[in-house]
Chains A and B, each alone.
Chain A
Amino acid sequence: MNALFEYLLRLGDDSLILGHRLSEWCGHGPILEEDIAMTNLSLDLIGQATSFLKYAGEVEGKSRNEDDLAFLRFEREYKNLLLVERPNQNFGATMMRQFLFDAYRKLFFERLVHSTDSQLSAIAAKSLKETKYHLKHSSEWVIRLGDGTEESHEKMQSALDDLWKYSAELFYQDDVDEDLIENGIIPAVDAIKGEWDVLVRNVLEQATLIIPSNNWEQVGGRKGIHSEHLGYILAELQYMQRAYPGMKW
């Protein structure tokens, strides 16, 4: 197994699946301005997925391109976090999911910029700019809704209670990471954990939200063991490619 290929799938799939989830909002946002904003997030993520998966295809060297990888793998071969496949539920839950992810992504890209792999560092530089804005947007909403009305506070607290157990997987690390870290290709994510904690706690505190005391960690995505939701995402995502194999669109 090629560790870099595997790792690029993780990065690409996170972006792809979260981009997919956000795109489900298009036409259904709470107000037109926010509909447009969420589409921007989605577009950035789909752009990132394209870059990571394209590079993954090159690294793999089996002439699979970004579309082959995005549309023609089986469920167990997707390596995204469980967090990003969580259903949108309501706007608040969507922003909470976004916030937990963005906080990690921003810190991660800040370090990935210094990768010894020039292609990764270039993708990271572009993605970092996007992600800084995503984090600004999602954290503002988490604060606004957490400290808004009683109803919004309740909704945000229950979103946090629901999503918190998926946040540990952000810092999942295994033998795939080890070599890459050693060679300076990727940063060690456990080193980010401390900073992520500070950032997240700070925002949640402003949002008057309480971090659940239960520390149970729900993981699996990085190993290709997903929730039931991913299958349905893929059913839509892959529909055209599966129904009409091998055609150009």
Chain B
Amino acid sequence: MANKEWPLYEVFIRSKQGLSHKHVGSLRAADEQMAIDNARDVYTRRSEGISIWVVESNSVFASDPNDADSLYEPSNSKVYRHPTFYDVPDGIEHM
């Protein structure tokens, strides 16, 4: 029987409570359970994480970089979404 390669998984790790999971790399595993184990052994050897997500790479749908203009640039002009857009008088704190 031809040996099928184990599927590729993308690994996301929460480095500490309060932070979101961040993509750290990928690995191969036969199933999700093994992917979690492997992610723990490969990507948290120096206590880099407290929580792990794995997603089969095949299941990740990515935006097309050619659409980047239409997807992301429009928000560049919406500077009013950023707090630095607004003038606050000197002396005002906690805002």
Please list the residues of chain A having a beta carbon within 8 angstroms of any beta carbon in chain B: 31, 33-34, 36-37, 40, 133, 136-137, 140, 144
Contacts and interface: CB of A to CB of B under 8 A. Distances in A.
Contacts of B30: 144
B14 to A, nearest CB: 18
Given A33-B38, A140-B37, 10 more contacts: A31-B28, A33-B41, A34-B38, A36-B42, A36-B45, A137-B37, A140-B33, A140-B34, A144-B30, A144-B34
Contacts of A31: 6, 28
20 contacts: A31-B6, A31-B28, A33-B27, A33-B28, A33-B29, A33-B42, A36-B38, A36-B41, A36-B42, A37-B37, A37-B38, A37-B41, A40-B41, A133-B40, A136-B37, A137-B37, A140-B34, A140-B37, A144-B30, A144-B34
Contacts of B37: 37, 136-137, 140
Interface string B3-39: 0001000000000000000000001111001100110
Q: Pick the most buried of B29, B33, B41, B45: most chain A CB atoms within 10 A of its CB.
A: B41
Nearest to B43: A36
A31 B6 CA distance: 10
Nearest to B42: A36
Interface in B33-66: 33-34, 37-38, 40-42, 45
A40 B45 contact: yes
A137 B27 CA distance: 17
A144 B34 CA distance: 10
A215 B31 CA distance: 36
The 3 residue pairs across chains A and B that have the minimum distance between CB atoms: A33-B38, A37-B41, A36-B41
Nearest to A133: B40
A36 B40 CA distance: 10
B89 to A, nearest CB: 54
A156 to B, nearest CB: 16
Contacts of B27: 33
B63 to A, nearest CB: 29
Contacts of B42: 33, 36
Contacts of A40: 41, 45
Contacts of B34: 140, 144
A137 B33 CA distance: 10
B48 to A, nearest CB: 14
B37 to A, nearest CB: 6
A68 B42 CA distance: 33
A75 to B, nearest CB: 33
Contacts of A33: 27-29, 38, 41-42
A107 B10 CA distance: 34
A29 to B, nearest CB: 11
Q: Pick the most buried of B29, B33, B37, B42: most chain A CB atoms within 10 A of its CB.
A: B37
A133 B44 CA distance: 14
A91 to B, nearest CB: 13
Contacts of A37: 37-38, 41
A33 B40 CA distance: 10
Nearest to A137: B37
B26 to A, nearest CB: 11
